[in-house]
């Protein structure tokens, strides 16, 4: 795997807020192709366990990802990687 697609380690002790760190980590997983468009994300409670954080922290991270248009939540079905993904911002 090239360095370009390397997913940074999740660091809950980093300088940013934990929910932002989780959102950035999931976004990196999407960008690297680990999470494909249309793929279902694990339940928020499972993600909270995986990341070692409170459930509400994951909920807030999911809200950030929804605002970035990287995920969509379908009531009663789950949360999915957006398909299609938004176009990355072009440097200009």
CATH number of 38-83: 1.10.10.10
Span 46-89, pLDDT tens digits:
999 999 999 999 999 999 999 999 999 999 999 999 998 887 76
Q: Where are the domains of the chain?
A: 38-83
Question: For residue range 1-50, what is the model confidence (pLDDT) as tens digits?
Answer: 445 567 777 776 766 799 999 999 999 999 999 999 999 999 999 999 99
- What is the per-residue DSSP string for 40-70? BPPPHHHHHHHHTS-HHHHHHHHHHHHHTTS
| Per-residue model confidence as pLDDT tens digits over 24-35 | 999 999 999 999
């Amino acid at each position: 795997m090239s360095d370009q697609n390397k997913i940074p380690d999740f660091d809950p002790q980093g300088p940013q807020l934990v929910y932002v760190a989780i959102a950035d980590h999931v976004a990196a997983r999407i960008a690297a192709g680990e999470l494909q468009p249309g793929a279902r994300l694990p339940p928020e409670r499972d993600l909270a366990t995986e990341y070692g954080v409170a459930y509400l922290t994951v909920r807030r991270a999911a809200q950030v990802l929804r605002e970035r248009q990287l995920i969509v939540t379908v009531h009663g079905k789950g949360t999915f990687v957006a398909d299609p993904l938004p176009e990355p911002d072009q440097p200009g």
